Amino acid sequence: NSNFSISAVLARDSEGLIIGACTYPLEDVADAFVAEARACERALYFARDMDFRKVVLEGDLLTVTYNFVPREVNRAAHKLAMVGRNQKLPCFWVEEAPLLVVEVAELDRHEWYRRG
């Protein structure tokens, strides 16, 4: 009912280590679909601002691929969103994240490799 949401972006390298993170408060969110769409938009802005396209893309952005990651190995993203709920403004971390998020991300990483 509050029409408020938190977008949390947690960027990891190919080994699952955190290379950047951000939280972004979203106001006037009509529904869950809009919240998800705006979160995806924030993730693209974050990737652009971090200049990840040098690593991931060759040339211009032509397509975007979304991959499903089970909740059991992505608890760190939820923890980051909970951190963001306590912030009034967007927050950004480069090559790090809040300590609680880093700890959960390490557990997620081990679970991902255990399942693999």
Give residue 3's pLDDT band: very low, low, confident or very high (50, 70, 90). Answer: confident
For the segment 32-46, the average pLDDT, to the nearest whole number, is 88
Check if the beta carbon of residue 55 is closer than 8 Å to that of residue 87. Answer: no
What pLDDT does residue 88 have? 85
Strands 4-12, 18-27: pairing kind: antiparallel
Kind and range of the H or E run holding 32: helix 32-49
What pLDDT does residue 65 have? 65
Cα separation of 105 and 51, whole Å? 22
Comparing C-alpha atoms, which of 105, 99, 59, 95 is closest to residue 83? 99
pLDDT tens digits, 81-97: 999 998 889 999 999 99
For the segment 41-45, the average pLDDT, to the nearest whole number, is 87
For the segment 28-52, the average pLDDT, to the nearest whole number, is 87
| Secondary structure letter of residue 16 according to DSSP | S
**E strand residue ranges, the chain:** 4-12, 18-27, 91-94
Check if the beta carbon of residue 105 is closer than 8 Å to that of residue 12. Answer: yes
Give residue 13's pLDDT band: very low, low, confident or very high (50, 70, 90). Answer: confident
| 17-21, 39-43, 66-70, 100-104: segment of lowest average pLDDT | 66-70
Burial zone of 88 (CB within 10 Å; 0-12 exposed, 13-18 middle, 19+ buried): exposed
- Could you tell me the pTM of the whole model? 0.79
